[in-house]
Every structure is written in structure tokens, then in C-alpha cells.
A = this chain, B = another copy of it.
Amino acid sequence: MMQTLYVELGERRYPIYIGSQLDIATLLSPYLPNKQVMIVTNDTVAPLYAKTYEDALQHLGKTTATCILPDGERYKNIECLNLIFDALLREGFNRDCTVLALGGGVIGDMAGFAAASFQRGVDFIQVPTTLLSQVDSSVGGKTGINHPLGKNMIGAFKQPNIVFADMAQLKTLPLRELSAGLAEIIKYALLGDIDFLIWLESNIDELVAGDEEKLAEAVYRSCAHKARIVANDEKEHGERALLNLGHTFGHAIESYLGYGTWLHGEAIAVGMVMAADLSCQMGLISAEDVERVKHIFQRAKLPIRCPNIPIDDFLNYMSHDKKVLNGSIRLILLKSIGEAFITNRFDINMMKQAILNHLEQ
């Protein structure tokens, strides 16, 4: 079982292979012009999957080395990025090499930024091993690291040569991370595809239970949705901003709690609930719509409230988000369930209320 999706970016067009038990060596071979391959992974994923990839690459006659970073969003920083550069140079890798990211979104973001920056750009392959990274970071080319004053503040746009999303690797994923991935999948439904939301409402229990065929379908539909948007708007000048539904609120939660305390998917689930609440206060969607949003997140075992963050701190962290244009906050809100839009016209007090309504008491 395998589906192939192409991200259409002209000469940087690349395929995403989605399936179970993918044959790595055969699929990789046409996309690996270089002899040197650096596998970047973390200390959770390495013991599970690194050897499989090392063996497959060596079978293809490649020279491999593996750079193992500590696992966690809190290590998505400039110091750990530098460990990748250290490994590349220590192993004598030159500009004709490939960086292969084997891990979740943090590994994909860091390895991708390293591939964009090492020798001003080398080849890049992505093997996302979490549901979140399969639907999120495998399409779009956004890479980067965090800074103590903000998330993803430093980075590059870097497109991979190829992406592998293997559902069999999700067997080892903690349930909490599976749910975090579902948050991002639900996001695609809420922002632009009511039919997908109906499909998710019918299949959410199987998805939470780890049904590989349903997961592959959900990943395929999410990636296809994102790929279409990204192909239209690679550098995020317009439509692509819609993908940030729930993110400005969510980033504030993650920043305040410290990166890695909450999973990204958990934070944006609450962020989407806040965006829905504000949309409801503005008369765009109904109270029942807000309940529907909350309900799908609850069934996906996701939070719909966040810890009691002081409102001024919350607003301060929101204003550090990248979606701030010339000092004014731009939000992604819902015109209806299944249709998002971007705006900087909203009542700040309503926004505060939407936040306060979803803080734990």
C-alpha cells in the first residue's frame, strides 16, 4: 500500500511517498545523487530506526554518518544546530552531500536548516517519524530553530528532494504525540475542507487507535491540501498564512510554558478553540460550531484549555509571533467551519475574552 503525492514547485518539485513498510533503498535510490549521507536523528528515534536507514544507504554504496541530537523541542536551538555542522565537518562532508532527517518536526526543522546553510546549501531528504511531522513539516519547506525570545525565529525555506511517510513507524509513537498529529490534521479540515471534517468525525476513533490505513488516508488528504496551498504561495505572501490557524495563540502558550512542555499539536488545538471562540464572538460562526470544534479535539484526546497564563504575558508572547505585520497582530479566523481567513481587524477585548474563556481556573 503506497500513495505518491507531488509537491509542485517547478524545478524543486518533489514526491512524498505515503504508505506502510516502504522499501527505502529502492525508493531513495533515484533521489540520491551524492555519495555522502548524514543521517540527523535524535536519541529516541536512533535506537528504533537509524540502523535500518544506515544499512539501506550502505547497500546503495553510500558513505553514511549519523548525528544523534537530544530529543525535544527545547533542543531546537542554535547550539544543537551547530552540533550538526560539527558532525558534517568532522566527517569531512563536502558540498556534494545529502542531509537525511530521521525524526519528528524538530529534527526535520533543524536538519533542514542545516542542509540549507551547510556550504550554503546541500541536498535534503526527509523521513518524518511522527504523525505531526508527516502532515506538517514534510510539505512546505519551512525549516529553522527557536530563539529564547520566540519560536522558529531563525531559519530558511528549504525543499527536500523526497519525503517518506511510513505509517509503520507510528507504532512506536506515544499516544500523546499521535493526538498532537491529529490536531494538525483536524486543522486542514477546519480551515478549508468541511468534507474532510465529516470524514474525520466518522473515523476519529480508528485514527486514535492507530489504524494504519486510515492514518495514511488522513496524511494523504492533509498533505495534498497543504501541497496545493504551498504550490500557490511558497513564501507565504497570502493564502499560505491560513495554515497558521490557531498558531498565534498556540505559539504564545508554547513560549510561556517553555518549548517542549506542551506539544505543538496540543498548543494549537487550544489555539484553534480560541480562534473559533473569537470568530463566534464576532458573529461569524455559531456557538454550536464552537462546540463542534471542541468536540472533535476532545475525541482526538486533545486539550481544549491551557494553564492559567496571565493575560498580559499571553498577549506579549502573541506579539512576538511572526504573523505580526508592522506591529499589528494578524489572526486566522473562521468565516465558517471549513473556511478560514486572515485579518487584523478584530476587537482586542473580544480576543482577550476568547483567551480567558479557555484558561484553566
Contacts and interface: CB of A to CB of B under 8 A. Distances in A.
Nearest to A236: B120
Interface in A309-347: 319-320, 322, 324-327
A2 interface: no
Contacts of A89: 147, 149-150, 153, 320
Q: Interface on chain A toward B: helix, strand, loop, or mixed SS? A: mixed
A203 interface: no
Contact of A95 (B92, B147, B322): B322
B156 A85 contact: no
A76 interface: no
Nearest to A327: B94
A118 interface: yes
A149 B90 contact: yes
Interface in A78-104: 78, 82, 85-86, 89-90, 92, 94-96
A242 B156 CA distance: 28
A230 interface: no
A322 B94 contact: yes
A90 B116 CA distance: 26
A326 B36 CA distance: 9
A117 B157 contact: no
B121 A156 contact: yes
A261 interface: no
A19 interface: no
Given A78-B82, A324-B94, A326-B35, A144 B156 contact: no
